Structures are given as C-alpha cells and as structure tokens.
Amino acid sequence: MLDDLRDLYQEVIFDHNRNPRNFRAMDDADRQIDGFNPLCGDRITLFIKLTGNKISDASFQGQGCAISTASASLMTDIVKGQTEDEAQNLFSLFHKMATGEHVEMDDLGKLAVLAGVCEYPARVKCATLPWHTLDALLKGAEEPVTTE
C-alpha cells in the first residue's frame, strides 16, 4: 500500500533511524553547535574534532524525524576523514540533490538514499538541517543555527 513511499523511506533510512551512527556527545570536541528547525522543533547538536584541516571525528545528538536522524547519521559517517573544503563541497552537492537540482549521484555515495526528499518540499529541511549545522560549524559560527 505504501510502496511509493519507499522512494523516500528507503530501508537504509529506517536502519540509520533505528541505530543512528555517531549518536553521542563528544566531551573533547574542538567545536560544537546547535541546529534548530523552528518550524517543526527538530534539534541537533553537532560535535567535531579537527586534526589540522581534517575532520577527524564527528558526532551528534538531538531529536528529529527519521529523515533528519538518518541524514545526521550518514553525514557524520561520511565527513569523517574529509578536509573542511571537501565537507563544504559535499554540503553543496547534497543541498542541490535535496532541492532537486541535477547532480551526479555517484559523487554523493551513500547520501544518495536521501534523494527522494526533493519530492517532498515540506521535508527538505529535515534532510538539510544537519548539513546547515555542519556548514555553520565549519564557518566558525557560535550561535545556534536555524533553517529559517
């Protein structure tokens, strides 16, 4: 009955929602920041550790829907080991994908499972909240980030 929903809610998303990766506070984080979606109340706290200009560790905590939780889980996994520039570049690609612009899916790796979100305008911000938060963190913001 809900087969067409599988485009949005792929099994990988359920998996990351049930068992989010890197879902922990990081006591020795170099940077941390809160992200907030005031429209729906989703909250995320993002932590990263930097070695040189490389993200050597990333984790998150917070409360959100399956889409935002899976997105944060996937994001923290994928940016580990990336340079700040690489992560920023990936954010830009991810944002394009989430808003329906053409991108090479190969460049997005595992993140491609969230491509379906572009069909759901009300849910795009669920997927992009973790990324906007990371973007602000990398740019050195200290105030909480909002999607509005």
- In the bound complex, what is the minimum distance in angstroms from residue 83's beta carbon to other proteins? 33
Site for other proteins in 8-27 (CB under 8 A): 8-9, 14
Q: Is residue 105 involved in binding other proteins (CB under 8 A)?
A: no
Stretch that binds other proteins, among 64-72, 77-85, 105-113, 127-135 (CB under 8 A): 64-72
| CA 5 to centroid of chain Cα atoms | 21
Q: Is residue 43 involved in binding other proteins (CB under 8 A)?
A: yes
Q: Is residue 123 involved in binding other proteins (CB under 8 A)?
A: yes
Q: Is 103 helix (H, G, I), strand (E, B) or coil?
A: coil
What 8-state DSSP symbol labels residue 81?
T
CB 126 within 8 A of CB 117: yes
CA dist 19 to 15, 94, 108, 117, 145, Å?
Answer: 6, 22, 21, 20, 25
Contact positions vs other proteins (CB under 8 A): 1-2, 4-5, 8-9, 14, 39-43, 63-67, 69, 120, 122-123, 126
